[in-house]
Amino acid sequence: MRAALLLPALASLLAAAPAMAEPVLFISIDGLRPGDVIEAEQRGLKVPNLRRFLREGAFATGVRGVLPTVTYPSHTTLLTGASPARHGVVNNTTFDPLQANYGGWYWYASDIRVPTLWSAASAKGLSVGNVHWPVSVGAKGVTWNLPQIWRAGQADDAKLLTALATPGLVAELEQAAGEPYAQGIDESIEGDENRGRFAVKLIDGHKPDFVTAYLTALDHEQHMAGPDTASAHAVLERIDAVVGRLVAAELAAHPDAVIAVASDHGFEAITRETSFFRAFIDAGLIRLDAAGKVTGWDAMPWPSGGSVAIVLARKDDAALAARVGELLASLKADPANGIAEVADRAGIARMGGNPDAAFYVNMAPDAAAAGFAGAAAPLRDTPKYKGTHGYFPQVPHLRSSFFLMGKRIPQGRSLGEIDMRAIAPTLAAILGVPLPDAEQPALPAIAGTR
C-alpha cells in the first residue's frame, strides 16, 4: 500500500526534474542470462567487457519480461516501456492461420502503436542510429537505419535490405568497413561481429546521439546447443569482444555517453515438444486439404516457443470457447503433453499479452510448443532444438539482463529485480526526452541521480 502511494509522488518528482540529455548507446544481446555476467567466474566465462558494467555501473539481478518472452515483443517493450497488448507486437511471427505469409515476422515498425525511444529522441532534435534492432523497418525517427529483415536468405535479401535502409547508408558503411554487410537471416557469431564493425563505423562517421545495436548469435547457439553449454559460452565470449569495441567507439565519439546493455529473455533447456496443431486437427477445429494445407479453422494455435496463444475464428462465440477450453483441459490433464498452465482472457490481460488470444498455454520447463508441420505431425515429438524461451514471464529462468554505465551512473549499484517496462523510461530520462506511454516509471536509482 505504501509503495502504491509513493509511485505517483515519485513519478511527479521525476517529471519535474530537469532534463539532463546525454548520449546513449543501447546494446541488446539476445538471450543473455544475467547470471552469465554476474556469476561469470563461477561459470567459467571470460567476459571482461560485460563485467566492467558491474564495477563501473549499475545492474539488475534479473529483468521480469513480457508475454510471450520472445525476441520481437520484448525488444519493442525495451524501446517503448509498454506491454505487447499495448504496443501491438504480440509475437515474433505474424498471425497466419492459412500459412500464406511465407513465414513472415513483425519486421515493420508501423506495427508499433506507441512512441518509441527512436521517435521520442528524434522529436527532441537528437540524431538516431540503428543496427539490426528487431521491428525496425521504416522506423520513424531513425536518422541512420540498418533495419532487420530477411526473406529467402539469398542474394536478393541484400538488395531488399539496402532498399529499406537509409538511402546510401549500406554502401557508405560497406566502403568504410571494407566488407559486405551481413544478411539479415545470418544469426552466426560471424554475423554479429560483422554488424558490430558496421555499428562502430556508424558511430565513428555520424556520432548519433542515440544508437541501438542488436546481437543475435547467443540466442541462436542456445537454441541449437542449449543454455550453459561450452559452445554457447564460446559465442558469448566473442560477443563480449564486440561489446568492448562498441563501448570504445561510443566513448570516443561521446565521452559523456551512457551505455546500456539489455537482453530480451533468458533460456530453458528442452527435451520434448507438443503439437497443438495436431490436437486441433484431430478435434476438427482445423481443416486440411489432401495436400495438408489449411482450408478452414475455428481455433488456431499461435506458437511462441515455450507458450502458445489460441485464437478463435469467432471471438464472441461462447460455445466455441467452451469447446476449446475443454480440449485444452483434457490435454493438460495428461502430464506427457507438458502443459504447466492455461490462462484465459483475464489472465492474459493481467500479463499484458495478446488481446486477440482466447487462451494462452504455458509449457512445462522442459517442453515447447511445436510449429505447424502438416497433417502427418505427431502430437508429441523430440524437438530439433535443445533450448527455447517464450514461456510466461514469471518463469525464473526467463529473467533477462540489464546493465548500464556512464559518468553519473552509480558504480557497483545492484538494482535488484526490475520490470522490463522500466528500462525505456529510464533511458528516456537519460536522453532527456518524454515517453508518456511507458507503463512503468523510470528507475529511481538511475533517473534520480540525473
| Cβ atoms of residues 431 and 127 within 8 Å | no
Which residues fall within 8 angstroms of residue 71, CB to CB, at 6 or more apart?
A: 30, 92, 134, 219, 264, 265
The residues spanned by each domain of the chain are 2-268+396-447, 271-384
Q: Find the mean pLDDT for residues 15-19.
A: 39
Q: How far apart are CA 372 and CA 96, in angstroms?
A: 11
Amino acid 1: pLDDT = 35
pLDDT band at 450 (very low <50, low <70, confident <90, very high): low
The counts of H helices and E strands in the chain are 16, 21
Q: What CATH number matches the domain at 2-268+396-447, 3.40.50.10440, 3.40.50.980, 3.30.1490.20, 3.40.720.10?
A: 3.40.720.10
- The three three-digit cell numbers of residue 27, written as one number: 546494446
% pLDDT > 90, the chain: 93
Amino acid 9: pLDDT = 36
Q: How far apart are CA 259 and CA 210, in angstroms?
A: 10
Q: How far apart are CA 221 and CA 229, in angstroms?
A: 9
Phi and psi at residue 227, to the nearest 5°: -70, 155
Burial 367-397 (b: 16+ CB within 10 A, else e): bbbbbbeeeeeebeeebeebbbbbbbbebeb
N-terminal to C-terminal alpha carbon distance within the chain: 27
Is pLDDT of 330 > 50? yes
Higher-pLDDT residue of 344 and 373 is: 344
3-state secondary structure of 159: helix
Q: How far apart are CA 292 and CA 277, in angstroms?
A: 12
Q: Find the mean pLDDT for residues 21-29.
A: 97
3-state secondary structure of 300: strand
- The three three-digit cell numbers of residue 48, written as one number: 571482461
Q: Are strands 402-405 and 359-363 parallel, antiparallel or unpaired?
A: unpaired
pLDDT band at 21 (very low <50, low <70, confident <90, very high): confident
Assigned CATH for 271-384: 3.30.1360
The C-alpha angle with vertex 171 and arms to 167 and 175, in degrees rounded to 5, equals 150
Give the model confidence (pLDDT) of 232-291 as tens digits.
999 999 999 999 999 999 999 999 999 999 999 999 999 999 999 999 999 999 999 999
Q: Does this chain's domain 2-268+396-447 share its CATH topology with 271-384? A: no
% pLDDT > 70, the chain: 95
Phi and psi at residue 294, to the nearest 5°: -70, 125
Strands, sheet with 307-312, edge to edge from the N-terminal-most edge strand: 299-303, 307-312, 359-363, 339-343
What is the Cα gyration radius of the chain? 22
Return mean pLDDT, the chain: 94
CA distances from 316 to 63, 181, 357, 365 (A): 35, 48, 12, 32
Amino acid 449: pLDDT = 63
Q: How far apart are CA 233 and CA 117, in angstroms?
A: 31
Is pLDDT of 16 > 80? no
Give the model confidence (pLDDT) of 37-56 as tens digits.
999 999 999 999 999 999 99
Is pLDDT of 302 > 80? yes
Bridge partner list, 29 = 215
Task: Tell me the one-letter amino acid at 411.
Answer: Q
| Cβ atoms of residues 428 and 73 within 8 Å | no
Tell me whether the omega of the peptide bond preceding residue 68 falls within 30 degrees of 0, making it cis: yes
Amino acid 447: pLDDT = 75
Q: For residue 48, give the nearest of 211, 192, 238, 188 by alpha carbon.
A: 238
Q: For residue 400, give the nearest of 263, 227, 259, 239 by alpha carbon.
A: 263
Give the model confidence (pLDDT) of 371-422 as tens digits.
999 888 999 999 999 999 999 999 999 999 999 999 999 999 999 999 999 9
Amino acid 375: pLDDT = 87
| Cβ atoms of residues 74 and 81 within 8 Å | no
Amino acid 445: pLDDT = 85
Give the model confidence (pLDDT) of 187-214 as tens digits.
999 999 999 999 999 999 999 999 999 9
> DSSP string spanning 302-324?
EE-SSEEEEEESSTT-HHHHHHH
Q: Is residue 292 packed enough to be buried (19+ CB in 10 Å), middle (13-18) or exposed (0-12)?
A: middle
Is pLDDT of 184 > 80? yes
